[in-house]
Amino acid sequence: MEYPDDMAAGVGLAPAFLPGNISIYRFVDIPLLSDLLFYILMYPAERFGLTNITKQSLGIAFSPDGNPPPEYMEQYWSFMLRRRHMKAGMSDQAFGGVMTDYVAAHYPNLRVPFVIVNGASDYNVPVEWAKQAEQILPRSKAVIIPNTGHELMFNKPDEILRAVDLAWQMADNKGMED
């Protein structure tokens, strides 16, 4: 939105368009407490299999399409075992809505065509957000893919390519003129 002349069109894959925070994660902003919780509770519990947080969260993200690819699961798991990365992810969950609030105020000014793609069964980003974004963004189209969840790039790559084609077509046609 800061460089409107440098962008012809956009595609958002299950984007978190609307403000919202998970306030329980706000402890990550407390330096000593967040480190203690990570090293004493979170890391050992996840590392030694006492919890299945990573497996459960990816299971939800890939539902109802199936399971995540094993190599993705391994990479994601190792990422979550790094204190800095885990804290960054939680900080995004805890405070991301503040940034979304700021950006959302500028949505009506977005002049390029924008396609919002969401799985109809997405448990992470509600499909209603895609429909609301379509109402808020001046030149947009929500594409709801039936029988799929959040991990569109893994489960529906052809649908993503169709969305990119639609965005280009909208840009070529000066998409949904004002």
Nearest to 96, CA basis, from 4, 36, 25: 25
How is the chain split into domains, by residue range? 9-172
- Structural contact between residues 127 and 12, judged by C-beta atoms closer than 8 angstroms: no
Nearest to 119, CA basis, from 140, 147, 142, 141: 147
CATH number of 9-172: 3.40.50.1820
pLDDT digits (tens, 9 = 90+) for 1-33: 667 678 899 999 988 776 665 566 677 777 788
Nearest to 119, CA basis, from 106, 128, 110: 128
Q: How far apart are CA 29 and CA 164, in angstroms?
A: 37
pLDDT digits (tens, 9 = 90+) for 36-93: 888 887 788 877 776 677 788 888 889 999 989 888 888 887 877 787 877 777 777 7
Task: Indicate the helix (H) or strand (E) that contains 144.
Answer: strand 140-145
Q: What is the pLDDT of residue 165?
A: 97
